[in-house]
Amino acid sequence: MGLFGGKKTFLEEGKRYLDLMLNEEALRQFSRSIERKENLSETYFYSAAACFMKTDMDSAKKHLRMLLKLHPDEKMIRMICDLTGMRKLVSDKYKNSFPCFLVDGSKIVFASSRKNIEESIVSNNSGIFVVEVESGKETQVVSEEFDNYLPSFSPDGRKIVFLSRRRDNNNDGVINNLDNPGIYVINIDGTDEKCIVKDEYSNKYPSFSPDSRQIIFTSWRGNNSGVYIINTDGGYEKQIVTDAYDNTFPSFSPTGQRIVYTSWRHDTNGDGRIDFRDNSGIYMVDIDGKNERQVVSDKYNNSFPKVSPDGLSIIFLSTRRDTNKDGKINSLDNNNVFICDITGKGEKCVSSDKYYNKMPSFSYDGKKVAFLSGGGGVKISNKSKGFFSPKGIYMADCNGKNRVQLLSDKYYGSNFVLFSPVDDRLAYMSFRKGTNRGIYIMNINKTPTLNEVEELINNLDY
């Protein structure tokens, strides 16, 4: 008779202890299962999982290597990859953030806090780094003297735009995230850095036009934020969306002729003012500031719009229900992932608000969407499905069908995901207990070979 009622195998007993986070007792049950050679593949895997949860990585590797000798099938290989993570491109010793692909998929630019890491003191400042996707070779482009973040490549691969806080412009004695960032452009080799928008105002979300000649960004220059465009060399700055309302999250269409963004324009909560507590709609405008039109109404709160690679669709997040039952609908409630055409018609739900979704990304051919989600897969423990839950990585067709889990949330939390612009690879950031955020690469259509899995196991560290 097992602890949980009925006659159970040692493997089943161990899995139930593991579900309760009783790792030592789980390992005792798994050890008995191994002695009796009960379903050795599963037993070795869950033994490794229990060791992983204890952060005993040497023992976890030992069990996984025993499992490899049994020539695991594709399903088991996927389970192993959930435990090891996919190919780690950038170490999780560091606090990495904001990865962005070069247009040809060969490099990723990202921000990383590394100063004094050997003394276990992570600086609040981040440098800007570039890593080659194939070789893993890293180059630091901008030092950590100041806090630098949100980098992205120019499509021609020659320059990087990023935000940088360099002055105590609120006069509180420190330079931190309460100070305004300037917008900087630098050559990919780290030369010829130039500030193109000063930190007199709060600036956000800079990105290059498809022809690499201009940069759009938002800037708070009064009570609200407008959308601006400026030449890459800092010349000819123009406001293209009025700051009569708050506007943010701007991004170019593939042709560079239009911009999509979020805007708060109505007092949807009836408190007598228009601000970020209200619902936001999604708008498009030509780059000369003309022909502005609403694409998605502010009946619900909509955010983070992106145009598909063919320029015909928009993906966005939308909060529509009080999913946490606290009596109000706000940013703590679950988001849906929606797609509509650029006129706002044909709206389809890609992932419902049963779980908390974020960071949707179109595949290079526009046929699929990857996103982070706080549920939908099998869990070891009964975790929350909402804002504070760990996030796994999921993918679905643009019509919401064929949803699959690419990486579970059982062992890692993921907080960024984006498709390569040219192939079926995904870059993502992930972390677990005792680590910062590593940057990983996976191929959505290729199961790792046994040799590749062995390398993943070898690279499983503390």
Tens digits of per-residue pLDDT, 300-344? Answer: 999 999 999 999 999 999 999 999 899 988 888 899 999 999 999
Residue 424 lies in a domain: no
Count of structural domains, the chain:
2
**Among all chains, which residue has been given the structure tokens 């992570």?**
122
What percentage of the chain carries pLDDT values higher than 70?
93
Mean pLDDT value across residues 181-195: 97
Q: Return the SS3 of 418.
A: strand
In this structure, are 190 and 110 located in the same domain?
A: yes
pLDDT digit string (tens) for 122-169? 567 999 999 999 999 999 999 999 999 999 999 999 999 999 999 999
In this structure, are 208 and 122 located in the same domain?
A: yes
In this structure, are 62 and 108 located in the same domain?
A: no
Angle between helices 40-53 and 74-84 (to 10 degrees): 10
Q: Domain holding 46: CATH number?
A: 1.25.40
Mean pLDDT value across residues 217-228: 94
What residues contact residue 236 under an 8 Å CB cut-off, 6+ apart? 230
Nearest to 451 by CA among 85, 90, 62, 65: 65
Q: How far apart are CA 341 and CA 337, in angstroms?
A: 14
Which among 212, 231, 255 is the end of a domain? 212
Q: Given pLDDT bands bounded at 50, 70 and 90, which one contains residue 208?
A: very high
pLDDT digit string (tens) for 339-376? 999 999 999 999 999 988 999 999 999 999 999 998 54
Residue 120 lies in a domain: yes
Which among 212, 246, 274 is the end of a domain? 212
Q: How far apart are the first and last CA of the chain?
A: 37
Residue 375 lies in a domain: no
pLDDT at 377: 40
pLDDT at 117: 62
Residue 178 lies in a domain: yes
On the CB side of 346, CA atoms within 13 Å amount to 12
Q: Please tell me which of 4-13, 235-244, 373-382 the model is most confident about, judged by mean pLDDT.
A: 235-244
Q: Please check the confidence at residue 384 and state whether its pLDDT lies above 50.
A: no
Which among 169, 189, 212 is the end of a domain? 212
Q: How far apart are CA 141 and CA 187, in angstroms?
A: 8
Mean pLDDT value across residues 279-293: 96
The chain-wide mean pLDDT, for the chain, equals 91
What residues contact residue 161 under an 8 Å CB cut-off, 6+ apart? 151, 152, 154, 183, 184, 185, 206, 207, 208, 215
In this structure, are 111 and 202 located in the same domain?
A: yes
Q: How far apart are CA 206 and CA 183, in angstroms?
A: 7
Q: Domain holding 132: CATH number?
A: 2.120.10.30
In this structure, are 188 and 102 located in the same domain?
A: yes
In this structure, are 121 and 186 located in the same domain?
A: yes
pLDDT at 380: 39
pLDDT at 238: 96
Residue 450 lies in a domain: no
Burial code of 309-322, b = ≥16 C-beta within 10 A, e = fewer?
beeebbbbbbbbee
In this structure, are 65 and 139 located in the same domain?
A: no
pLDDT digit string (tens) for 432-459? 877 889 999 999 999 999 999 999 999 8
Nearest to 298 by CA among 313, 320, 314: 320
Residue 201 structural domain = 98-212
pLDDT at 378: 37
Mean pLDDT value across residues 374-400: 66
pLDDT at 435: 85
**Which of 2-16, 124-138, 192-206, 308-322 comes out lowest in average pLDDT?**
2-16
In this structure, are 67 and 102 located in the same domain?
A: no
pLDDT at 232: 96
In this structure, are 67 and 104 located in the same domain?
A: no
Residue 264 lies in a domain: no
In this structure, are 111 and 156 located in the same domain?
A: yes
Q: How far apart are CA 6 and CA 29, in angstroms?
A: 16
Of residues 1 and 243, which shows the higher confidence score?
243
Burial code of 186-223, b = ≥16 C-beta within 10 A, e = fewer?
bebeeeeeeebbebebebbbbbbbbebebbbbbbbeee
**Among all chains, which residue has been given the structure tokens 């986070």?**
21
In this structure, are 61 and 115 located in the same domain?
A: no
In this structure, are 104 and 58 located in the same domain?
A: no
Q: Please check the confidence at residue 387 and state whether its pLDDT lies above 60.
A: no
Q: Given pLDDT bands bounded at 50, 70 and 90, which one contains residue 412?
A: confident
Residue 117 lies in a domain: yes
pLDDT at 388: 52
Q: Please check the confidence at residue 262 and state whether its pLDDT lies above 80.
A: yes
Nearest to 441 by CA among 114, 188, 135: 135
Take residue 43 and report the two structure tokens written for it.
């037993």
Mean pLDDT value across residues 424-429: 95
pTM reported for the whole predicted model: 0.90
pLDDT digit string (tens) for 33-71? 999 998 999 999 999 999 999 989 999 999 999 999 999
Q: In what order do the strands lie in the sheet with 313-319?
A: 301-307, 313-319, 336-341, 348-351
Mean pLDDT value across residues 95-113: 96
Residue 155 lies in a domain: yes
pLDDT at 379: 40
Q: How does DSSP classify residue 219?
A: E
